[in-house]
Amino acid sequence: ERLPIKVWRNNFCISWFFNNLVHEDFMRVILKKYFTLILLFSIATIFPTNSQDRPASFADLAEKLMPSVVNISTTTTVVQNTNPFPFEFPPGSPFGDMFKEFGSPQKRKASALGSGFVIDKNGTVITNNHVIKGAEDIVVRFSNDKEYKAEIIGADPLSDVAVLKIKSEDKFKPVKFANSDKARIGDWVIAIGNPFGLGGTVTSGIISARNRNIGLSRYEDFIQTDASINTGNSGGPLFNMDGDVIGINTAILGQQGSIGIGFAIPSNSAKQVIDQLIEFGETKRGWLGVRIQNVTKEIADIEKLCKARGALVASVAPGSPSDKGGIKDGDIILEFDGKKINEMRELPLIVAQTKVGKVVKLKVWRNKKEITKTITLGRLETSEDFKAETPSVPKVEVINSLKIEVRPTTKEDIIQRQLPPNVSGLVITKIEPDSPINYLKINDIIVEAGKRRVKSANQLNNLVNTALKSQNKTILIAIFNNQNQKRYIGVKLD
């Protein structure tokens, strides 16, 4: 009976080895070659080529994740007063303000679109706060076209995170969060969302950068990605190659759409807020009670620091945890609870993520030497600092010469409309029928007038009045319309 091939080969190799054992020179050459092959094989096993890490397709992953991603649509009622008279009062007339309240209120429905994802089988959905802010009705739609009503469990404007609950007894397919601290620049990611209302859209890219700060909020630690993100992607998930959520897509850099620079809230930062919103319906952030600024090279030289690092205490709030713990104006905080502070902007985020009431040690640079202070953290949301920083309702002002009402842009406008971070101007809140720009729309943003950037209503009034005194009585204004497109318009003034 014939031996199995494997056994036959082994017997053959053993016989051949003993028959040639006497030829030492021959064996030396053979063993050298075999050793080289084994070494090369081991190196290839330890250091696989990059081509093996590159996905051939995202199809399987996308198919698995699509049922957990939702499209979000919201409805808000906007009320505006209309003029009750068949005529207009002259600009500046006291009767205009007197009878302004007597206009018949007109209601209209405003809608917005966004994205979200399910994190438990009972229908808990995560999205951005700016997607659902002010919403009266929230509808989530899945990839199978099923729609459900949803309610807000909790929302946090400071981190731009919101938690919804689907009003249904159905069971849903959840996704889980990844450890965003392990995400590396160059890792593959995919985004799934509802850009421009085109639900179920999948885009891919890599993590382009970590720890980005773009000036939208106090607590920023964005993941930057070149996966295409557009209006409507807000609140949607950014997945790693394991199918876990590495971030929440929140903002883009660009005026009209994706230019390959998008930003996502890291999952670790988001999850801490989400857990608090689910448990308490609100956030509970740690609070030190100091106002801080950057440590420049000049300050570091004066204070005899080896390099510019840490956070310089500009002032200490009376009665705050820092005040009670002995922190003084001029101190430089180098380390908080065992975490080194390399840049000033790192400290607020680290403090906010620390549990209220925890006793922490601060390493402080004072009088050209390092000392340690012990602080018991307070809660930010109950502090006077927080109340002072809570944004007030922007003041609406009248531009009589254009017959419009405007208010200043806010950070919420920039986030919600996904405008470039440096955009500033005046949001149109009301347009009279006989306005010289009555073809514009509510929520258009005036950003320039007479080739000058508009920063206040008073400035715009002055620029328009100057144009009225000119021979042509015209002015060039620039706006961002409701589609976030920048347009220049020549306005003929009366």
Residue written as token pair 């340690």: 372
Contact 230, 258 (CB under 8 A): yes
Active site residue 401: no
CA distances from 59 to 91, 121, 177, 186, 192 (A): 62, 24, 21, 20, 12
Contact 260, 238 (CB under 8 A): no
Active site residue 23: no
Which residue is catalytic, options 68, 234, 269, 401? Answer: 234
Q: Which of 353, 333, 337, 345 is nearest to 287 (CA)?
A: 353
Give phi and psi for 315, each to the nearest 5: -160, 155
The amino acid that residue 173 corresponds to is K
In this structure, the strands spanning 332-336 and 359-366 are: antiparallel
Cα end-to-end distance, the chain, whole Å = 110
Q: Which of 205, 276, 201 is nearest to 233 (CA)?
A: 201
Which residue is catalytic, options 156, 160, 331, 413? Answer: 160
CA distances from 430 to 83, 85, 215, 391, 462 (A): 12, 17, 29, 22, 19
Q: Largest Cα–Cα distance in the chain?
A: 119
User: 409-419 as b/e, with b when 16 or more CB fall inside 10 Å?
Assistant: bebbbbbbbbb
How many Å apart are CA 395 and CA 404, to the nearest integer? Answer: 14
Contact 460, 114 (CB under 8 A): no
Contact 238, 227 (CB under 8 A): yes
DSSP state of 180: G
Q: Which of 432, 382, 424 is nearest to 407 (CA)?
A: 424
Which residue is catalytic, options 68, 130, 159, 228? Answer: 130
Give phi and psi for 146, each to the nearest 5: -75, 140
| Contacts (Cβ under 8 Å, ≥6 apart) of 52 | none
Contact 189, 204 (CB under 8 A): yes
Tokens of 425: 């101007």
DSSP state of 319: T
Question: Cα–Cα–Cα angle for 142, 143, 148, nearest 5°?
Answer: 15
- List active site positions: 130, 160, 234
